[in-house]
Structure 1
Amino acid sequence: MSQRGFDLTQLRTFVAVAESGGVSAGAERVFLSQSSVSEQLKKLEERAGQPLFVRGRQGVHPTPAGERLLEHARRIIAMSEAAFDDLQGRSLDGELRIAITDYYRPHDIARILKTFSEQHPRLKLHVTVLPSTVIDSGADDHASFDIGLSARFMPAPTRARSGGRATSTVVRREKLLWASAADTGSRPDAPYRLVLLPTTCQLQRFVVKLLDEHKVPYVVSHSASGVAGLQLALKAGLGISCLNESSLGDGVVACAANVGLPALPAIEFHLLPPRAGESELVSNARAALMRLFA
């Protein structure tokens, strides 16, 4: 009888390529050469008996069969890692509270947290979306959350923790971009119509300050309560705004470089460092989340 099933290494490579959108980027994630990745994908497609990717100038995209396998592959990998952690005595059992900025990979975060839950089925997860300033200010507040992920601008220095303790860990860097509706057609005219979040959002305060410093004329055309609302307002053509690269989505694109808006810095996503007296559960969870967030 022929063996049924898939090779776990090939599935890991397949997921890396599918999530990064290209063989080259996927190869970097799994620390293999492009030729090795291509060979693994070829063997996986032969095993599946059908194409798993559509290849083009813009990278690779899963076929319908590839999309189905992607869901299975993520669960298989999660279960494999959960089994390994369990046998190593690192299985997470208890309750964990996470505070996260809604700028962090808004199109992917649900999948990331789902993967984390599947890897640790005995863990009860509580997730709260908060402004980065609130997350940073609550870093020492044990009553609010156990682990925090916030956003900060470069080249602003990493804020040191009091008492000489460790600084936060950068898990991701992205470009900040001026964004507008994909079907705007022509360059926006001054005064620019701005779509903003409340003043509690440090990114929106930064945008207003930047435009004022460069004497760029603008009017606030819409105020959204969160990143999802801001994306909808941009898609509806209500104005322009500043977003990190992973927050762009269907119907929202980066403005052309010559529209007369000032240059933007990069943004970093920081995983807050351990607190004094942190439990083993939280420490192990932080290490597991760091691998997924990176």
Structure 2
Amino acid sequence: MRYDLDDLRLFRHIVAEGSITAGARRMHLSLPSASARVRSLEHHAGVALLVRGRRGVRPTPAGTTLARHARDVLAQTARLEGAVASYTRSPAAPLTLLAGGSAMHRLVPQALIPFLREHPDVDVTVSECRTPRTVRMLADGEADLGVVLDDEARDCGLDTEPLGDDSLVVIGQAGGILAGRTALTYREVAEHPLVGLDADSSLRRWIEKNLGPHAPVARYRTSVAGLSTLVALAAAGVGLAVVPRRALNPGQPLEVCDLQDPWARRHHLLAWGASARSSPVAAAALAGHLRRAAD
């Protein structure tokens, strides 16, 4: 026999409520209409599906079996409808998030994972970008959100909000030449062999821009692409490294010293672009995850 999906839904509601009247109400049907549908089900099944009493109804063994299979059929139908509907929806334009190398190390991944899980229909394009270029792209509507440095984004004309500390520290091998020190200047750091990020990285460029023409010439034993590798090299005693404090995991076996130079004290800002208005709900949700990741 063929089953009507609305009849199956009605029967499930009746069994769940223990009442034809209540089941009819949940389906927005009149009681006579609901009763007729149940009688039609029983007629086609050739067996009683409900035991009627003064206090309501309860399923017969056949009715229990029907209700159980109806649940599975309706669930499968919902999945089928969702799968087919996904081909008819116009895909939303992906959000564009820009951030410097420091934020890309931990902040951005920690925000993206829960956001993408909670918003399966929203895609995000993420790019590493220095603050000046990020500001230009946000102002031109080429990006939705950006994680920027306060010193470089001040008076940029964008909507911004504080996001978190991104100050720089010096790290070295536990028990090494930094042992017993709490702070030092970059000039002191440059007296020792260093390991650093690649020359075109946003952090390396930030450091070199702020050092000026009369800064000491540092010896870099090697340059690497990522902060994780840089921290590992410093921990192994290959050389000292200047990194954002937020790049360090609590409990890592390292010597950590504050960098005393004024330019080492930095803060991240969350900046909004003009294009964020085209997907305000999604952009606001991603911004919320960035705030929580920065805490």
Distance 1:266 1:152, change over 3 A: same
| Structure with bigger RCO (C-alpha 8 Å, 6+ apart) | 2
- Please say if 1:286 is aligned against 2:287: no
2:174 to 182, 195, 198: 182
Cα shift at 1:115: 0.8
Give the equivalent residue in structure 2 for 1:116. Answer: 115
Q: Render the CA deviation track for 1:159-207: whole Å, top value 9, x for unaligned.
A: 322xxxx442222224321222335365598622222224444542443
Taking the aligned partners of 2:164 and 2:232, their CA distance within structure 1 comes to 25
TM-score, length-normalised on structure 1? 0.52
Q: CA deviation at 1:280?
A: 3.5
Matched residue type, 1:140: A
1:273 corresponds to? 272
Distance 1:183 1:141 in 2: 49
Secondary structure, counterpart of 1:288 in structure 2: helix
Structure 1 contact 216–261 (Cα < 8 Å) conserved: no
**Deviation (angstroms), 1:271:** 1.9
Residues 46-104 of structure 1, C-alpha deviations (whole Å, 9 max, x = no match)? xxxxxxxxxxxxxxxxxxxxxxxxxxxxxxxxxxxxxxxxxxxxxx9652222222312
Residue in 2 aligned with 1:98?
97
Contact 1:94 1:122 in 2 (8 A): no
Instruction: Assess if the C-alpha contact under 8 Å between 1:167 and 1:272 holds in 2.
Output: yes
Q: 1:88 is matched with which residue?
A: none
- 2:165 is aligned, of 134, 156, 173, to 173
2: CA distance between counterparts of 1:219 and 1:286? 43
More helix by share: 2
In structure 2, do the counterparts of structure 1 residues 104 and 278 end up closer, same or farther at CA, with 3 Å as the change threshold? closer
Structure 2, gaps ≥5 residues long: 1-90, 180-187
Distance 1:119 1:190, change over 3 A: closer
User: Aligned in 2, Cα 1:291/1:208: closer, same or farther, shift over 3 Å?
Assistant: same
- Match status 1:151 vs 2:149: yes
What corresponds to 2:231 in structure 1? 231
Aligned to 1:218: 218
Match of 1:238, SS state, is: coil
Q: CA–CA distance in 2 between the matches of 1:139 and 1:284?
A: 18
Q: Shift in Å at residue 290 of structure 1? A: 2.5
1:231-250 equivalent positions in 2, closer than 5 A? 231-249=231-249
Pairwise CA distance, 1:254:
4.9
Contact kept in structure 1, 2:144 and 2:272, CA below 8 Å: no
Query: Match of 1:128?
Result: 127
Distance 1:278 1:111, change over 3 A: closer
Q: CA separation in 1, counterparts of 2:102 and 2:286?
A: 17
Number of aligned residues:
192
Structure 2 Cα separation of the partners of residues 206 and 95 of structure 1: 29
In the superposition, the TM-score normalised over structure 2's length comes to 0.52
Residues 158 and 167 from structure 1, CA distance in 2 versus in 1: closer, same or farther, beyond 3 angstroms? farther
The alpha-carbon deviation at position 141 of structure 1 amounts to 4.3
Distance 2:95 2:252 in 1: 35
Larger radius of gyration: 2
Letter in 1 for 2:161: T
Query: How many angstroms apart in 1 are the aligned matches of 2:131 and 2:262?
Result: 22
Amino acid at match of 1:221: R
214-223 or 182-191: which moved more?
182-191
Q: Could you tell me which amino acid in structure 1 is paired with residue 231 of structure 2?
A: Q
Amino acid at match of 1:280: S
**Aligned pair in 2 of structure 1 residues 104, 189: CA closer, same or farther (>3 Å)?**
closer
SS in 2 for 1:184: coil
Following the alignment from structure 1 to structure 2, what is the Cα–Cα distance between the partners of residues 236 and 221? 13
Post-superposition shift, 1:138? 2.5
